[in-house]
Every structure is written in C-alpha cells, then in structure tokens.
Amino acid sequence: MTDENQNNESRFRYRLGKWLLSRDECVFTTVIDQNRDDKSTRQQLMKSINNWVNRKEEFVTQEIVSEMCEFIKSENEDLYFRLMEKCALKGINAGEGIFQALSMCQCEEAITNPQCEKADDFSSV
C-alpha cells in the first residue's frame, strides 16, 4: 500500500471517528476503538450497513409520512421543496422534519413565544 493510500484511509478513519463521536460516544467506542486499524474499520462499516439494509422491518409510519408529503406538495409545491431541502441539509428524513415542525411550539409557548406567531397563515388550508 502506498503512503498516499494509507494517508487517505487514515484520514477516512479519523473523519468517521470524529463524526461518530459527535453523534454517539458508545457507537464511536464500538466502531473505532474495537477496530484498531483502517481496514477493520472499513470492514465494520460495510458489514454494519449490509446488516442494517437487509434487516426486515415493517414501515408503518412511512405510509402516513408519504401521505403528508403528498398533501403538502399538492397544497404548496414550493413549501414542499423547501421542506425537502431543509431535511436534506439537516440530514433527517421528511417524517422527522414534519415532526419537528409540528412540535416546534408547544401549547403553552404559543401564547408567549414570538417564534410561534411568525409562521405563515395557512388557516385557509
């Protein structure tokens, strides 16, 4: 292996470790600390993704999220695309974005929090 390839793999492992640590210390420890070299870290990444992708799951919430997205798109296409863009920038799915939007202002805060009043008026929707 050339020095440049080794540096690229080490850089990849470092950046992966930094990202994991910012997300969850336990996952960081499992992936980086238990895989002491670049090759085993990459193998762990591929194995984990393969296991996750192949795991059978029921996606009951996906249907309602799809319905909400279709509704938003049919009512206000610009808003829909801005929602998708913001979700992509935040690295979250549309369901999580919609949930964050709905939970942004709790009932008690809506009266006193000026942020809650700045939303566009969609009362006619």
**Per residue in 5-47, pLDDT tens?**
556 667 888 888 899 889 888 888 888 877 777 788 888 888 8
| Pair 97, 86: CB distance under 8 Å | yes
Provide the whole-model pTM: 0.46
**Contacting residues for 1 by C-beta, under 8 A, at least 6 apart:** none
pLDDT classification of 115: cutoffs 50, 70, 90: low
